[in-house]
Amino acid sequence: MSKAMFSSIIWTTNVQIISMIMANYRLSFMEAYEIWINSKTYATLEEQSNEIWQFSNLCLYMLFDEEQKTGVFEIPTAIS
């Protein structure tokens, strides 16, 4: 995937997740933005090789929310 396409996907994802954070945490845009970009979830999302950019926005938000509640970020693994 080209860098431009990846950047576009990440930008769209960020907009959606920041909106979810604003709604569920009752934060302003800047507060939600700052919490999001300082999260381990976001840092992992920014690395294309991790491939969590393929997860749904809801799934990514749930990973972020769990990280905020527990302080732990884990990429889910497949159940065999």
Q: What is the pLDDT of residues 6-57, one digit of tens each?
A: 999 999 999 999 999 999 999 999 999 999 999 999 999 999 988 899 999 9
Mean pLDDT of 52-71: 95
> What is the rounded CA–CA span in Å between residue 70 and residue 80?
26
pTM value is: 0.87
Query: Cβ-count burial of 16 within 10 angstroms (0-12 exposed, 13-18 middle, 19+ buried)?
Result: middle
pLDDT of the residue at 78: 64
Query: Cβ-count burial of 9 within 10 angstroms (0-12 exposed, 13-18 middle, 19+ buried)?
Result: middle
Q: Are 40 and 67 in contact (CB under 8 A)?
A: yes
List the helix and strand counts (H, then E) for the chain. 4, 0
pLDDT at 79 over 70: no
Residue 76: pLDDT band by 50, 70, 90 thresholds? Answer: confident
